[in-house]
Structure 1
């Protein structure tokens, strides 16, 4: 007797199920299994009297929905972890990305967890814009039957830390929903807040769903893809094959093209993904901090379950190049400095933001002295986090390699050298050295599956993923047109990958190239100006189904580009500004307007 004859599924339906689940990831399968269990619970089995059985709970009453909004993948990763653990505990759960969630379902939800990040100056991730707008608007329904909790992700070096998470937490309560427990606000060191929040969330989910009818035991329809051997918490030691400066001698920018070997790692990536790099701090910076505070780097310090020398903590485990509001507040308290306390007032928000953009931890320690012990310093500093860089290569072309385009942050402040932690770490790595890396998928920044045209807009190192896009499209013989709009200060010194782009134009792999070198003329010209100049052509491409990509600085370039796009759509489509915004929002929801901004 075969396995097929043992299945209650009719033989003619089995191919349909196989086609349905083909290619689905584990989180989607978990949601599907919960959905089908709910459907089964609502259908009366033969031979059962409806009067003899209690009414089955609806799917919404019997399940947990985990809704996430993610720009770089962290919220997605945490949401999937909650989903896996809830499923393992026997709970029906579904995991939904914000732009795939039907807002009409909100009224039927009974248990909802939201995991969402905040970008730039208090903005939602691109996949969550429509949901945030819906909840804030008049169409949002009354939610008295809903119980919920929110986990916000952010970066405390920005003034509007976790603003979107707070906004949703307050809005759901205002709509009548019951908050199960306080919203979590996770900094770049996610696990510090996310781990206890998740434990509380799982406990509450078990409590909230305990009165539901017994959940059916679900047999997996296919084997879930196993977790890669190398990941964020266990990075792969990738050998550096090439470390080459690609800006000219006259440039005031040091941009590096880096190539790493992934041979033997089993790691795979797609164009649009990012490479995570775990850096260590510069020894010179560590010694400067120790000297300023007059602390002994050999002092042993225990924090949590780890014990290291203070020098090791500062080099490998703590953030020194980015100021955060919690550390700033702790230092203000220790120093007793009235001026620092004034910076923390709501009225000084812009002043504090400007200070954070210039100062590092060392600047604060030197300008406003305070007493720190080795133990209190380690406890107050934010844990060192990996940096994510857009991958600048197609694996179908380079094989077991991965390429990056990295701008070395290196400047002087009041005559003192300052630098970025990861960019300096990478710039100072010698070829053949190993660098700890991992792959961070970015599902929102993907090439179209078909041969549609693509428009790629980027400034500076924002050109990196487009190198991967063009490589990939050429390798698979895609017939769609490729249009690149690139900007940087100077043509002669800052035209990144100039020879490659010119060869791509000549070979037909790149169909249009518009350049904006801002400082080569009296009037500064940026990528958004080139878009305005080509407004009619750009609109025609979009009307014909082209996908649009923006990569680079979130607070300046990406905002200015979006404003230009709104103006173009309004003019070329004879729309109001509001209608142009709505039209672009539809492109975002369709996955045809994607941004990789930082």
Structure 2
């Protein structure tokens, strides 16, 4: 199916009812008015059902789309800040220096991949992830501040955030600091470069007192103007800062406390670490590039256990870290690495290193190098991938998986099928051998698309 289906299920229970308060609804984003084709009638039915319960005496007859909740926070100025001690949350972040940024793909390759090294000494394990916290571009900050027209005295005035409700969480202190200012929030907290959603326009419409701008904002929110909305936002990659510039009358009337409702938070970017833990620098493999380290999902076996690693593309990064560490350990067992990329001369990451790992066999699949197509593949297969290598080296794979005690896209599934095929070839009668390996922690995935 070309359509993407979104599913939302309401399990609201009222007055002890044994059945669902409202049935779930499927929404199709390729409907002529997008997911609103299913959402709007479902939401209307929800309001009607809530009114029928009689539990909400002050509930309006109709819900106005421009009504908004009170601001999440109150900004309190000129009050005491308490202790000047730096919270542990801030101490966990480190400003680092990029000491090298070496391209590891061919100059004419469409992907510019870089091995980026940062000068910082942090404890981490193979498979851990470096969290890189970006800041807004100065150009985006300038565009937003020009539209908002806040005076410098307001932008640089420290404040204290008071949540309007006990369930509202404060922004991370590592982003806003101990004594936050609006200028710092525009630099580190508010995402000015994200493509805005409809809720952004709805919030602006609720604030706007300019008739012409309010009319245009409500038009973008309307489900029947979906194409206009996509043309204005997604298709031309227009940012939130640029939207503020396009609606100057509305932007100049935004109260400061509404900024925390209007903007989403800049999220940290995750990169697998590809350097060995004992080195002074942290190295990551990035497609185009205050940090912290997050625990990885992999539970690597001890060095005396044999291991098979399958790492296509930049997915090889945590395995490089792990295999370099094993190579420095005494009495480390043998390892197998299956690596796949588009071309040997395009994006064969760390090509010169793999042969120097004494206890590691490396098998490569170059999917776009047609002259390197393996002879064992049938004529119907035009490209070679890592799952084909697993089948080619079935005996070695089974030696580890079968005889020892213990973007994502389609790659993990194809690898699992290849493992099952290896098991069948060697007489295993279990229907899904890879499921057994997963259940006992011997087969692990870390995938993304």
Q: Secondary structure at the match of 2:317?
A: helix
Q: Secondary structure at the match of 2:437?
A: helix
1:365 — aligned with what?
A: 243
Shift of 1:448: 0.6
Please tell me the root mean square deviation across aligned C-alpha atoms, in Å: 4.2
- Does residue 438 of structure 1 match 2:438? no
- Does residue 337 of structure 1 match 2:201? no
Would the aligned equivalents of 1:516 and 1:530 in 2 still touch at CA under 8 Å? no
Q: Where do residues 59-138 of structure 1 align in structure 2 (5 Å cutoff)?
A: none
1:516 — aligned with what?
A: 366
Q: Where do residues 160-179 of structure 1 align in structure 2 (5 Å cutoff)?
A: none
Would the aligned equivalents of 2:115 and 2:283 in 1 still touch at CA under 8 Å? yes
Shift of 1:241: 2.6
The one of the two structures with greater contact order (alpha-carbon pairs below 8 A, sep at least 6) is: 2
Matches of 2:383 and 2:241 in 1, distance apart?
32
Matches of 1:343 and 1:591 in 2, distance apart?
50
Shift of 1:331: 2.1
Matches of 2:98 and 2:89 in 1, distance apart?
18
Q: Secondary structure at the match of 2:113?
A: strand
Matches of 1:524 and 1:363 in 2, distance apart?
43
Q: Where do residues 295-334 of structure 1 align in structure 2 (5 Å cutoff)?
A: 295-296=148-149, 300=154, 304=161, 312-323=184-195, 327-332=197-202, 334=205
Q: Secondary structure at the match of 1:593?
A: coil
1:458 — aligned with what?
A: 311
Would the aligned equivalents of 1:394 and 1:468 in 2 still touch at CA under 8 Å? yes
Shift of 1:233: 6.0
Q: Secondary structure at the match of 1:404?
A: strand
TM-score normalised by length of structure 1 = 0.45
Q: Say which of 473, 481, 489 aligns to 2:326.
A: 473
Would the aligned equivalents of 1:490 and 1:517 in 2 still touch at CA under 8 Å? yes
2:30 — aligned with what?
A: none
Matches of 1:277 and 1:366 in 2, distance apart?
27
2:445 — aligned with what?
A: 595
1:215 — aligned with what?
A: none
Shift of 1:474: 0.7
Shift of 1:262: 2.9
Q: Secondary structure at the match of 1:492?
A: coil
Matches of 1:533 and 1:510 in 2, distance apart?
17
1:258-303 residue CA offsets vs partner (Å, 9 max, x unmatched): 222334xxx3111111122222122234345556xx3337563668
Shift of 1:362: 4.5
Sort the Cα spacing of 1:298 and 1:380 in 2 relative to 1 into closer, same or farther, 3 A: same
Matches of 2:246 and 2:383 in 1, distance apart?
38
Would the aligned equivalents of 1:321 and 1:361 in 2 still touch at CA under 8 Å? yes
Shift of 1:498: 1.1
Stretches of structure 1 lacking an aligned partner (at least 5 in a row): 1-120, 123-158, 160-192, 194-228, 409-422, 424-435, 548-552
Matches of 1:230 and 1:461 in 2, distance apart?
32
Matches of 2:304 and 2:265 in 1, distance apart?
44
Shift of 1:482: 1.8
1:262 — aligned with what?
A: 120
Shift of 1:497: 0.9
Matches of 1:592 and 1:391 in 2, distance apart?
22
Would the aligned equivalents of 2:365 and 2:384 in 1 still touch at CA under 8 Å? no
Q: Secondary structure at the match of 2:345?
A: helix
Shift of 1:308: 5.9
Matches of 1:501 and 1:357 in 2, distance apart?
42
Matches of 2:338 and 2:394 in 1, distance apart?
13
Matches of 2:90 and 2:394 in 1, distance apart?
42
Q: Say which of 253, 263, 268 aligns to 1:386.
A: 268
Matches of 1:525 and 1:320 in 2, distance apart?
42
Q: Say which of 262, 268, 282 aligns to 1:402.
A: 282
Q: Secondary structure at the match of 1:486?
A: strand
Shift of 1:377: 4.0
1:538 — aligned with what?
A: 397
Matches of 2:446 and 2:225 in 1, distance apart?
31
1:274 — aligned with what?
A: 129
TM-score normalised by length of structure 2 = 0.58
Shift of 1:388: 2.3
Matches of 1:270 and 1:328 in 2, distance apart?
41
- Does residue 503 of structure 1 match 2:379? no
2:412 — aligned with what?
A: 561
Shift of 1:247: 2.0
Q: Secondary structure at the match of 2:287?
A: strand
Q: Secondary structure at the match of 1:491?
A: coil
Matches of 2:190 and 2:276 in 1, distance apart?
33
Shift of 1:332: 4.7
Q: Say which of 471, 483, 488 aligns to 2:341.
A: 488
Q: Secondary structure at the match of 2:102?
A: strand
1:284 — aligned with what?
A: 139
1:248 — aligned with what?
A: 106
Sort the Cα spacing of 1:479 and 1:310 in 2 relative to 1 into closer, same or farther, 3 A: closer
Equivalences, count: 317
- Does residue 586 of structure 1 match 2:426? no
Matches of 2:411 and 2:438 in 1, distance apart?
17
Shift of 1:454: 1.6
Shift of 1:476: 0.5
Q: Larger strand proportion, structure 1 or 2? A: 1
Sort the Cα spacing of 1:322 and 1:466 in 2 relative to 1 into closer, same or farther, 3 A: farther
Would the aligned equivalents of 2:340 and 2:385 in 1 still touch at CA under 8 Å? yes
Would the aligned equivalents of 2:95 and 2:291 in 1 still touch at CA under 8 Å? yes
Q: Secondary structure at the match of 2:346?
A: helix
Matches of 1:248 and 1:298 in 2, distance apart?
49
Shift of 1:468: 0.8
Shift of 1:316: 1.2
